[in-house]
Amino acid sequence: MEVNEVEKLITDTLENVEVVAETDGYHYQVRAIGDVFDGLNAVKRQQLIYGCLNKYILDGTIHAVVIKTYTPSEWQQAQ
């Protein structure tokens, strides 16, 4: 699966989220930035992303994924 497909799966489900994905073919790294993460703990944030990708994780298309999520203000502070 191409990174643009992974990004689209997430952005089609979660509104107003900026997503950048990288891959080596089976392992993916996803960075997602959006207000949707405001007030959520790390587990809940990851569950939102996993919910978008779970079908492809279960069928083996995506072998592993590392997820980093930020609110816009958290992302700005991280820069």
Q: pTM (2 decimals)?
A: 0.89
Q: Crossing angle for the helix pair 3-13 and 42-58, nearest 10 degrees? A: 120
Q: So what's the pLDDT on residue 63?
A: 87
pLDDT tens for each residue of 18-49: 999 999 877 899 999 999 999 999 999 999 99
Q: For residue 59, is pLDDT > 80?
A: yes
What domains can be seen in the chain, in order of their start residue?
Answer: 3-72 (3.30.300.90)
Q: Average model confidence (pLDDT) for the chain?
A: 94
CA distance 4 to 20: 8
Residue with more model confidence, 60 or 67 = 67
Share above pLDDT 70 across residues of the chain, in percent, rounded to a whole number: 100
